[in-house]
Amino acid sequence: MEPTQSLLLFLSLLTHALCVPGEHHGHNDSRRHDYCVLGAGPAGLQMGYFLSRSQRDYIILERNSGPGSFFNVYPRHRKLISINKIYTGRRNREFNLRHDWNSLLSDRSDLLFQQISRDLYPPADAFPRYLSMFVKELGLRVKYGVDIGKIRASSIEKAGNRCYILTDQHGNDYTCSVLLVSTGLWVPQQVQFVGSDLVEGYESISVDPEAYKDQAVLILGKGNSAFETAQSILGRASRVHLYSPSPVRLAWQTHYVGDLRAVNNELLDTYQLKSLDGLVEGGLEDIAIVRRGRGGGRKRRGGRRKTGETKEDERKEQLYLTLAELLDGRRGNESSKVKAENLPGYHNDNFSLRQPYDRVIRCLGFRFNFSIFDGSARPPHSGGARGRLPGVTAWYEGRGTPNLFVLGTAAHSRDYRMSAGGFVHGFRYTVRAVHKVLEQRYHNNAWPATKLPTTQLLSWILKRVNEASGPYQMFGVLGDVILLRGSYCEYLEEFPLQALPQFSALSGHTISEQGFLVLLMQYGLNRTDTLGPGRAESEWTRAWKSNFLHPVLYYYHKLPTERDMRQRPAGWPLPRPQAVHHMIEDFLTEWDQPVSHSQPLRRFLEHCLQTDLRAFYAETCFRLSLTNRKPPLFCRQGYLKKQGIVGNHHLWQNAREAGLMPNHQETVSHNSEDVPFPEYLKHAGATVASAMNFDL
């Protein structure tokens, strides 16, 4: 938390102002809430679930009559490209969420998307149905038909203690101490150029392939919507060209699910096999689309012609792509005035896009709706993503709009083109993280932490690495933080990494002088040929060169500062730590092997904790406890607490053969017959052996 902000929060706590959650329960005002969630899409409902579970005063406002209305329209061709993999061969719920990209998080094991659809790529209609089920089963408080048109910060505000006032279509005001904006992105992104009015939008094009029969189509954009559109008309259209500034980025190469998914990439095939379709790069701002009659321009009569034919030709006008600068500054777009020299093909006879098109379609994605925010409540435009998204802090609070958080796709500016924060399977975890921040800030409930004996840390890390879905989906963004406290440690799950400098304020936990570890998943930094030889590493000592998703642990003595974060090594999610450990990428994503995974990790932890973390049989602990005033931690936390691991002859033999346990049998005679000891010595109940024979 920034210092000013925390000061203001402190002031607000002192003054007991109205806006602080939980302060106005006596008012019995149905339009006054601690938490208002704007939009009943997946992010809004996900937050609704967490608020409901922690029994907060919240309301979800939705202008449509049902949840997830975006999905009633989009994607236009009605196929979701989020993976719905039901058969993973595993029954671990947490693990299975790694391959379930549509479900929301809840403690109900049956509330999964697979209840609605069993298709790997499900139909879009299934999603609103799933969301409805989610609302109904969990009894979330959603108010439908409330169309918020204006949002302003309260006038009585004292900055840090501001509330937000939302006005709906009937002029009703909703007063919210904390506003959670989960409105998604639904305003189509447009670029202004000469003739942009001649362009159809993805939001309104016909989805009937027959409507494109034998037509030449130019699509602006090279994202998933552009390719999805192209794919649907491929069998009917004559030529399909895709035009945008940057080349195609393939999701399977970039590991970013927002890039072109292979599900949609049939056009790449027809392009590379030279079957009339193609991709072209070029800027959008300086182009122009002009209308021109077929065979328009100056005509030279070459013999007799029937007049009727000419007329028919002229009626059918076609669209040309040209450059604004070739139009001699003319703003108009009258077809009769467009001459051949206004077209690039006149100057450059093999210009790629010289042929006319029957349609031009814009598939440029969507932008955040900033217009409903009054100046007092409007978050700034993000630096990245062409300013289409609101700028937010690392804990998803609007920059400059305290108590207003942005959730879901709209919050994607944090990890745009990096991770999965713009997608259901990613933001369901960031929403959970934001909820933990809310609980700490407004209700003083520290970030949940599991206390573990230090000897259990290795197993626990391996458990998380092998099943955790949050860090797996939100790689490089969310990571587990492990606070080292000597003989025990505290394990916090899925903290937003970029907020580490504010860790103490956001989580309510402090860092001890033993430091802390961060566990996250990351893809390799030096991307090579994704399918080429040498793409995978198998030697654990070369783990830092792993290209695929793999766990990485960072060890710090103290929290990094904002400055450390800013100056972190190029391409790194975190600043240079005191020590780092990469776990070698694994083909099966199972990091549980003793030699390649477990032991190197243990040695790293030993280095960070400055202690021996090996396990020892009771016999060894017996020996070490009598011959060392500081026996190993494992003996102290197990054996000396009367919970040593005994083992059996077979295992001891193995350890002896490996030279890890001394062989006492050689030095001492094997005679174990009972000596006639005085009778009273035998009475110690706890030490008398049981009658069974345990030899293997």
Partner 1 sequence: MSIICALALLLCVKSDPCMSANTSKLIEHTYDSLTEKMPSGKVSFIYFGSHVNQAIELFLEQLELSADALEDYGISVAKVNCSRENVEKFCTGGKVMKKAYLFRGSEVLRSFDIDTVFDVNAIVSHVLFTVLFNEVRYVHTVTDLLNVERAAKGKIDIVFGHIQVLGLPEHRALMEAAFVYGTKYQFVLTTGGPVLKHVGVEEPSSLQTGLWFLHCKDISSRSEPCPYTALRKPLTIVNIHTFLQLMEAPLVTETRQDPPDVDVIHRHLNIPVLFLFSQTLTQDLDRATAESLAWRLRGEAGVVLIHRESPDVKTSLQYNAAYQLAEEVLKYFTLKSIDEAVKLFREKILQEEEEIEEEEEEDAEEQSVALDALDDEVAESVYRDRDLMLDLEPIRELTSDTFNSAVTQNGLTVVLFYLKWDAVSMAFIQSCAEVSDALEDVSDIELASVDCGEWTDLCGDQKITSFPAVVIYRPGDPAVTYRGMLGAESLHRFLLLSQVSSPLSLSSHSDLLSFMEGEIYDKHSSLSPVRVLGLFRSAQDPGITVFVEASRILRGEVLMGIFTNEEAEKWVVEHSVKLPAMLVSRGPGIQREAYSLNFPSPERLVTHIQHVLSDPFPELTIENLPWYLERGKPLLLLFVGGDENSGNAGCLREIGNLLKTGQLESYVPCWIHLGRTPAGSSVLETYLGVVPPLPALVLSRLGADGEVFHFPPERPLLADTILQWLREVENGREQPAGMIPNEELRPSVGFYDFLAIMDREVPGYAAQRIPRGKSGAREGRKLQPQQEEQRGAHEGQAPGASLSPGTPHQHSEL
Q: Which of residues 508-547 bind partner 1 (CB under 8 A)?
A: 541, 543-544
User: Where in 25-84 is the site for partner 1 (CB under 8 A)?
Assistant: none
From the centroid of its chain, how far is CA 156? 37
CB of 473 to partner 1, least distance (A): 16
Contact present, 540 and 600 (Cβ < 8 Å): yes
User: Where in 603-662 is the site for partner 1 (CB under 8 A)?
Assistant: 603-604, 606-607, 611-612, 614-620, 622-630, 632, 638-648, 650-652, 654-655, 657-658, 660-662
Contact present, 486 and 549 (Cβ < 8 Å): no
| Residues 145, 404: Cα–Cα separation, whole Å | 22
CB of 620 to partner 1, least distance (A): 6
Q: How many residues bind partner 1 (CB under 8 A)?
A: 138
- Pick between residue 118 and residue 463 the one whose CB is nearest to partner 1: 463
Q: Which stretch binds partner 1 (CB under 8 A): 61-69, 190-198, 225-233, 572-580?
A: 572-580
Q: Which of 149, 247, 332, 448 binds partner 1 (CB under 8 A)?
A: 247
**Neighbouring C-beta atoms of residue 37, cutoff 10 Å:** 31
Residue 668 lies near partner 1 (rule: CB under 8 A)? yes
DSSP at 640? G
Residue 463 lies near partner 1 (rule: CB under 8 A)? yes
Contact present, 451 and 490 (Cβ < 8 Å): yes
Of 349, 218, 212, 356, nearest to 295 (Cα)?
356
- Pick between residue 248 and residue 418 the one whose CB is nearest to partner 1: 248
CB of 607 to partner 1, least distance (A): 4
- Pick between residue 166 and residue 518 the one whose CB is nearest to partner 1: 518
Residue 588 lies near partner 1 (rule: CB under 8 A)? no
Q: Which of 502, 582, 584, 585 binds partner 1 (CB under 8 A)?
A: 582
| Residues 648, 288: Cα–Cα separation, whole Å | 82
**Neighbouring C-beta atoms of residue 535, cutoff 10 Å:** 14
User: Where in 86-115 is the site for partner 1 (CB under 8 A)?
Assistant: 90-95, 109
Q: For residue 435, what is the enclosing H or E element?
A: helix 424-443
Residue 273 lies near partner 1 (rule: CB under 8 A)? no
| Residues 174, 377: Cα–Cα separation, whole Å | 14
| Residues 12, 580: Cα–Cα separation, whole Å | 41
- Pick between residue 206 and residue 348 the one whose CB is nearest to partner 1: 348
What are 101's two structure tokens?
């990209």
* Residues 94, 97, 102: CA angle, nearest 5 degrees: 150
- Pick between residue 83 and residue 655 the one whose CB is nearest to partner 1: 655
Q: How would you classify the pairing of strands 404-406 and 173-181?
A: parallel
- Pick between residue 165 and residue 661 the one whose CB is nearest to partner 1: 661
From the centroid of its chain, how far is CA 220? 27
| Residues 671, 506: Cα–Cα separation, whole Å | 65
User: Pattern of binders to partner 1 over 287-306, x per CB under 8 A?
Assistant: x-------------------
User: Where in 300-339 is the site for partner 1 (CB under 8 A)?
Assistant: 321-323, 325-326
User: Where in 351-380 is the site for partner 1 (CB under 8 A)?
Assistant: 351-353
Of 588, 623, 631, 581, nearest to 606 (Cα)?
581
- Pick between residue 18 and residue 655 the one whose CB is nearest to partner 1: 655
- Pick between residue 274 and residue 299 the one whose CB is nearest to partner 1: 274
